[in-house]
């Protein structure tokens, strides 16, 4: 087991958000994903267009509940219900504790591949779909599309692969430099890369758009792009 940064240890091709990762998750993701806090701000402002009176929203892979709390504060003058779900028990427990002061937030522990969704107006997923095994990924997109009310929005952020090998090589190296600049050692960067093999499986931008179209979405656009990270908004 090797150190991957922020006191987290992981085995080769066995990265997990379980165990004690929830204790340092917010620090780790903020250092590992460029402009992570900014994407929460973007997401909250986009949610304004979908979270109206009596709306229901889901945050899939809610981790420690940070984005849910942002949405709860932003919609506290409305009757909006927010549901977060996470596959890791310790993570969902941490989210429930962090969101305990917000009566409009409910946290579920479960796998989004198997979890039915109620009719809703907004679904968000921050760097979650990339951890869904590829053979189940289209199923998740299909479920989200069916669950959204007409006019509802699906906002998700992903690490994405570049359209060809030359661009992929450039983006990968720049991102590696970014992690070193955040204070991670070369050994930690390599160990993290080894740990996520077969666990984090990014698709290209086009592949994500194709999955949206197969699910039934017609209206979609990129709302954020930084190197190998992209945010997509699709409206039913």
The β-bridge relationship of strands 229-235 and 219-226 is antiparallel
In terms of C-beta density within 10 A (0-12 exposed, 13-18 middle, 19 or more buried), how is residue 183 classed?
exposed
Tell me the whole-structure pTM to 2 decimals.
Answer: 0.94
Show pLDDT as tens, one digit a residue, over the chain (236 residues): 556 555 655 657 556 676 776 788 788 889 899 999 999 999 999 999 999 999 999 999 999 999 999 999 999 999 999 999 999 999 999 999 999 999 999 999 999 999 999 999 999 999 999 999 999 999 999 999 999 999 999 999 999 999 999 999 999 999 999 999 999 888 888 888 888 878 899 999 999 999 999 999 999 999 999 999 999 999 99
Domains in the chain (CATH in brackets) are 2-163+195-235 (3.40.50.150)
């Amino acid at each position: 087991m090797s150190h991957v940064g922020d006191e987290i240890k992981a085995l080769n091709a066995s990265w997990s958000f379980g165990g004690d990762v929830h204790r340092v998750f917010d620090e780790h993701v903020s250092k590992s994903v460029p402009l992570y806090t900014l994407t929460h701000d973007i997401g909250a402002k986009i949610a304004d267009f979908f979270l109206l009176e009596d709306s229901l929203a889901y945050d899939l892979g809610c981790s420690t509940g940070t984005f849910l709390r942002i949405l709860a504060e932003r919609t506290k003058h409305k009757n909006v219900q927010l549901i977060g779900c996470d596959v890791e028990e310790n993570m969902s427990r941490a989210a429930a504790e962090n969101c305990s002061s917000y009566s409009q937030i409910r946290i579920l522990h479960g796998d989004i591949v198997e979890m039915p969704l109620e009719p809703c107006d907004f679904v968000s997923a921050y760097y979650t779909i990339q951890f869904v095994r590829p053979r189940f990924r289209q199923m998740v997109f299909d479920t989200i599309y069916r669950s959204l009310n007409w006019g509802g929005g699906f906002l998700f952020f992903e690490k994405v692969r570049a359209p060809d090998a030359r661009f992929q090589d450039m983006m990968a190296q720049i991102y590696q430099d970014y992690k070193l600049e955040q204070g991670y050692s070369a050994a930690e960067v390599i160990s993290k890369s080894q740990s996520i093999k077969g666990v984090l499986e990014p698709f290209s931008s086009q592949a994500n758009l194709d999955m949206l179209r197969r699910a039934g979405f017609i209206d979609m656009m990129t709302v954020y792009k930084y190197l190998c990270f992209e945010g997509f908004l699709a409206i039913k």
